[in-house]
Amino acid sequence: MKPVPDLHLAALGIEMAPCVITSSEIEEMMATTWDQLGIPRGQIEQLTGVRERRWWNEGTSISEMAAKAAQKALHRAGIDIGSVDRLIYTGVCREGFEPATACAVAHHLGAGENIELHDLSNACLGSMDAVVRMQSGQPYNKQVPAIRLLE
């Protein structure tokens, strides 16, 4: 078995959507139906464990928000975007099918022309798939800032 190259997350960067809606608020919106069906309040949270979810305002640029999260991670890690040689966008939401959202994120970050860019989409596993890809043994800067865009 081939040994796995060392890889660590140097820092995290998070950008959270500002619009919060709670499970209780959703239940209130559906109150008439829930009452007719005899469903008690608190079921959404009890069954899913989800207290709240967040939404972006209409017209929000996903790539701009991803770049904000990336900038936070880069700053915390003390890494300049110029030293990053690979940017993988792993979010579930994209701004379009082509070009890759990573291209827009790199543009917002001011990345140079010598950076490898691509999107990796696999629902919830996208971020883990990116880690596996980074561990593939190909040359890259092994200090990887983790970027999480909460959708």
Question: What six digits make up the tokens of 110?
Answer: 């001011």
- List beta partners, residue 55: 19
Coil/strand/helix, residue 108: helix
Cα separation, 89 vs 92, whole angstroms: 9
d(CA 28, CA 33): 10
Q: Is 19 a catalytic residue?
A: no
Instruction: Answer yes or no: 98 catalytic.
Output: yes
Candidates 19, 116, 124, 151; catalytic one: 124
- The one catalytic residue in 27, 98, 113, 151 is 98
Compute how many other C-beta atoms are within 10 angstroms of the C-beta atom of residue 102. 24
Could you give the count of Cα atoms lying within 13 Å of 132 in the half-sphere of its Cβ? 8
Residues designated catalytic? 98, 124
